[in-house]
């Protein structure tokens, strides 16, 4: 084999290795992008589910008490749902007796932790409360919640909701 043939063979081998490395990097980058897209979709789904549940939680009206309670129960699961449904009759009686209305909206939410099956989201709301104690006048209320969600049959459902800090 001549020197020129050796150089040509070495060049072909190096080019083949370069193509192989390039293909491997392209494959890995594609996989990383797919994983990133899946994570982004999960974050979006978790934020939407937490926002929907908290919005239902901070919008209660005595004149639509059953609807209000049902909206929260629809996005709940596990012990939280069982406890909420068991106490629904009491909640409705308190809302009606005190002519309580609470309206609110989510002003901020952030994912604190997320996995394929579980997530924790912090949600801040602002709104108003009126009842017999306020003589029907609306008083401003801001709440912060820690919402724990679990993946169940393709849906993110609330397994726990906690007040974080005091109401303002």
pLDDT of residue 18: 77
Q: What is the pTM of this model?
A: 0.77
Count CB-CB contacts under 10 A for residue 74: 13
| 108 phi and psi angles, rounded to 5 deg | -165, 145
pLDDT of residue 156: 97
Contact of 123 with 54, CB cutoff 8 Å = yes
Give whole-number Cα distances, 44 to 7, 41, 109, 123, in Å.
55, 5, 11, 14
pLDDT, one tens digit per residue, over 29-44 is 666 665 778 888 999 9
DSSP state of 166: -
Decide: helix, strand or coil at residue 121: strand
Structural domain boundaries in the chain: 3-163
How would you classify the pairing of strands 118-130 and 101-114?
Answer: antiparallel
Lowest mean pLDDT, pick from 15-24, 121-130, 158-167: 15-24
Domain 3-163 in CATH 3.10.450.50:
yes
**pLDDT single digits (tens) 6-31:** 877 887 777 788 777 777 777 776 66
Q: Whole-angstrom Cα distance, residue 96 to residue 80?
A: 23
CB 73 within 8 A of CB 85: yes
- Contact present, 125 and 54 (Cβ < 8 Å): yes
Q: Where are the beta strands (DSSP E) in the chain?
A: 60-61, 101-114, 118-130, 139-152, 155-163
| 101, burial (CB in 10 Å: exposed 0-12, middle 13-18, buried 19+) | buried
């Amino acid at each position: 084999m001549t020197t020129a043939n050796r150089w040509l063979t070495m060049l072909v081998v190096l080019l083949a290795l370069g193509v192989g490395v390039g293909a491997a990097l392209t494959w890995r980058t594609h996989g990383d992008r797919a994983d990133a897209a899946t994570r982004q979709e999960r974050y979006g789904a978790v934020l939407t589910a937490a926002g929907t549940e908290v919005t239902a939680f901070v919008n209660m009206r005595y004149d639509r008490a059953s609807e209000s309670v049902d909206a929260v129960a629809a996005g709940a699961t596990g012990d939280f749902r069982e406890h909420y449904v068991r106490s629904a009759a009491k909640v409705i009686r308190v809302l009606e007796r005190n002519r309580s209305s609470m309206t609110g909206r989510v002003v901020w939410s952030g994912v604190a932790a997320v996995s394929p099956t579980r997530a924790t989201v912090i949600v801040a709301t602002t709104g108003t409360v009126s009842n017999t104690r306020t003589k029907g006048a609306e008083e401003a209320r801001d709440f912060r919640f820690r919402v724990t969600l679990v993946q169940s049959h393709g849906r993110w459902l609330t397994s726990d909701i906690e007040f974080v800090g005091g109401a303002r």
